[in-house]
Amino acid sequence: MFFKEDPRTAAWIPAALLRWFRTAARPMAWRETRDPYRIWVSEIMLQQTRVETVAPYYERFISKFPDVGFLARAPLDDVLKAWEGLGYYSRARNLHRAAGIVVARHGAKVPRTVEALEALPGIGRSTAGAIAAIAFGADVPILDANARRVVARLFAVEGDLRSYATENLLWERSASLVRKGKGRDTALAVMDLGAVLCLPHSPRCGECPLGSRCSSRLRGLQDSIPPKRARIMIPHHDVVAAVFRRKDGALFLVRRPSDGLLGGLWAFPSGRRDPGETLEDALRRSVREKLRVRAVIQREVGTVRHAYSHYRITLHGFLCESPGGALPVGEETGWLPGHGEGTFALPRADRKLVEIIHREEER
């Protein structure tokens, strides 16, 4: 293989990568700390999310939950509220659960090894590697989305990058980039190279410090590694939402089941429209099934379109009344105050619907 055949290149690539990183490192708030807790939070937030999006969330989260003890003691609702809008809410739920474990089993100290980190909820091998490398300087590899692409291109690893055989090879190649005592900088350098030069589309090979030894570039494969995925049709669903409004303007919400999509968030009572069903019929059925009450529809209050990672929805909000006012009460239901603030974390589509309702009230 390329790497084994040329030991000079094996030494040259990590050295050139670190040289480049010394002048090109991107400034980020979480890079200015060695606090393992803060680095852990940042790595979880950065999963599937861009740096620019994460930055304000990170600042707010850390000021609200400055250490692992604060986070462990906080109610899950507060954590979800701080995460509202960032998406992939299982990350917040797992982070909260993992904080409890760190306090209970590790004396409130973030574990140092990849193995112990990986045992925590929400931390896979690459995130564990990133935390161990960045927070503790461990000489371990990472393989997040950026690293996977960079490593595959550098060593011209072809084929499905998620297959078992390729995965092992990529980990091996990623490990080969880590020089002794340079685990932290290597992890950050690979991340940065993938974010600013070795881009998913049209990599900027002409500016790349590794261009002269990059196997893909030398063989003209940089645009075909990783292989393009076949376009998949993203399904669309019509979802109906019941808006029950009290006289003081408060809006009735239900908590979503903790184990599903948007788990633990607060949303309008809602349901998908079945094929052939009218929106109104779907709404009455959903409310009957979920709340065991009858919904009398007043009018449609707004429509919101939103794309999740695997499907798109059009959310149709209908102002409803429940005859006799018999809406269920309990821990899984609540009233969002008329001004829209409070401790409830809402999915983005429901939050947009709240904004539409408020705008309508102001007219």
Under the binding rule (CB under 6 A), the answer on residue 152 touching ligand SF4 is no
**Min separation Cβ 3 and ligand SF4, Å:** 14
Distance between CA 358 and CA 363 in Å, rounded? Answer: 9
Task: Tell me the angle at which helices 36-45 and 90-106 cross, rounded to the nearest 10 degrees.
Answer: 160
Stretch that binds ligand SF4, among 47-55, 83-91, 150-158, 305-313 (CB under 6 A): 150-158
Q: Which of 5, 32, 43, 355 is catalytic?
A: 43
Nearest partner of 91 among 131, 120, 129, 55, judged by Cα: 120
To the query of whether residue 167 is one of the catalytic residues in this protein, the response is: no
Query: Do 36 and 102 contact (CB within 8 A), yes or no?
Result: no
Q: Which of 81, 217, 245, 352 binds ligand SF4 (CB under 6 A)?
A: 217
- Examine residue 226 and tell whether it contacts ligand SF4 (CB under 6 A): no
Q: Which of 92, 98, 152, 205 binds ligand SF4 (CB under 6 A)?
A: 205
> Binding of ligand SF4 at residue 148 (CB under 6 A)?
no
Task: Give me the residues paired with residue 303 across strands.
Answer: 316
Structure tokens, 218: 């030398």
Q: Which two tokens stand for residue 227?
A: 């292989």
Q: Which is nearer to ligand SF4, 217 or 255 (CB)?
A: 217
CB of 22 to ligand SF4, least distance (A): 17
For 116, the token pair is 């112990």
DSSP E strands in the chain: the ranges are 236-244, 251-255, 266-267, 270-272, 296-307, 312-321, 333-336
**If we measure between CA atoms, which residue out of 308, 322, 306 comes closest to residue 356?**
306
Q: Tell me the per-residue interface mask from 185 to 204 with ligand SF4, x by CB under 6 A, - otherwise.
A: ------------xx----xx
Asked if residue 249 binds ligand SF4 (CB under 6 A), the reply is: no
Give the H or E element holding residue 13. Answer: helix 7-24
Taking a C-beta distance cutoff of 8 angstroms, is the pair 71, 96 a contact?
yes
* Closest distance to ligand SF4 from the beta carbon of 158 (Å): 13
Is 210 a binding residue for ligand SF4 by CB under 6 A? The answer is yes
Under 8 Å CB-to-CB from 114, ≥6 apart: which residues?
A: 125, 128, 129, 132, 138, 140
| DSSP SS3 for 301 | strand
Residue 71 binds ligand SF4, judged by CB under 6 A: no
Rule CB under 6 A: is residue 245 a binding residue for ligand SF4?
no
Residue 14 CB, nearest distance to ligand SF4 (Å)?
13
For 280, list phi and psi in degrees, rounded to 5.
Answer: -65, -45
Shortest Å, Cβ 178 to ligand SF4? 16
Q: Please count the other Cβ atoms lying within 10 Å of the Cβ belonging to residue 179.
A: 15
CB of 220 to ligand SF4, least distance (A): 10
Is 216 a binding residue for ligand SF4 by CB under 6 A? The answer is yes
Based on CB atoms, which residue is closest to ligand SF4, 203 or 271?
203
- Determine which residue in the list 91, 153, 173, 273 makes contact with ligand SF4, applying CB under 6 A: 153
By annotation, the residues acting in catalysis are 43
Residues that bind ligand SF4 (CB under 6 A): 150, 153-154, 197-198, 203-205, 208, 210-211, 214, 216-217, 222
